[in-house]
Amino acid sequence: MNGVRTSDAGGREAPRGRVDKRQAILEAAFRTFAREGYGQSCVREIAAEAGVAKPTIYNHLGDKETLFREAMLAAVGRTSGAGLGALDRLREPDGDMRPLLEETGHRILENHCDPESRALRRLLNAEAARFPDLLETVQREGAQRLHDALADRLARFALSGRLGTGDPDLAAEQFLALLTGPLELRTRLGTREVSDAELRTVARAAVDTFLRAYAPRAVDAP
């Protein structure tokens, strides 16, 4: 037998090499689309980028539109995984809130400013009119998953009395807005690199504003 195998949609097992080749094609396609745009990219160029023959791409993924959709979904899978990983320190409501939120905010910003995340947003904005359903799917699998996971973590803090909010969904939305909102200007719509020190400054300011709104209120004694 030839190494690890995985089941495909039809219930058959696909060789690991075939899965790896598909992944290489999707990664090469995303790089090409990000560099050239959807309209200017061609399957021949993507095949060269992936180091495969042009017919191999058609055998794996069919036409250019399917290739674009699958490349975008693969990219959001990678970036959303990193985004969710940024919330690891908020799993248990222990420790001082401020450093926990600052570190989490910094990690969220690192992922937001990652080259692949920036390229994904640019492509979505550029091709939203052509692929409106894809925009909805990518947002659901990316930004919405991050929001929902953060809301779950903030709900735990609220239940433990360490945050003063009865609406963790709104609190998550506002925390993410405080983090990512300033970056449009600071990055000049994603065309300028920002230093790690600048990301930490944004994270600290976001947490400061967030805690002013959501820190537990002292209860006056009767």
| Interval 16-61: pLDDT, tens | 556 688 899 999 999 999 999 999 999 999 999 999 999 999 988 8
Examine the pLDDT at 171 and tell me if it is beyond 70. yes
- DSSP output for the chain: --S-EEE-TTSPEEEHHHHHHHHHHHHHHHHHHHHH-TTT--HHHHHHHHTS-HHHHHHHH-SHHHHHHHHHHHHHHHHHHHHHHTTGGGSS--S-HHHHHHHHHHHHHHHHTSHHHHHHHHHHHHHTTT-HHHHHHHHHHTHHHHHHHHHHHHHHHHHTTSS--S-HHHHHHHHHHHHHTTHHHHTTTTTS---HHHHHHHHHHHHHHHHHHHSPPPPPP-
- At 7, the pLDDT band (50, 70, 90 cuts) reads very low
Write down the pLDDT at residue 6: 38
Examine the pLDDT at 5 and tell me if it is beyond 90. no
Write down the pLDDT at residue 133: 93
Whole-model pTM: value is: 0.83
Examine the pLDDT at 106 and tell me if it is beyond 50. yes
Write down the pLDDT at residue 2: 40
Write down the pLDDT at residue 120: 93
Examine the pLDDT at 222 and tell me if it is beyond 60. no
The answer to whether the CB of 194 falls within 8 A of the CB of 183 is: yes
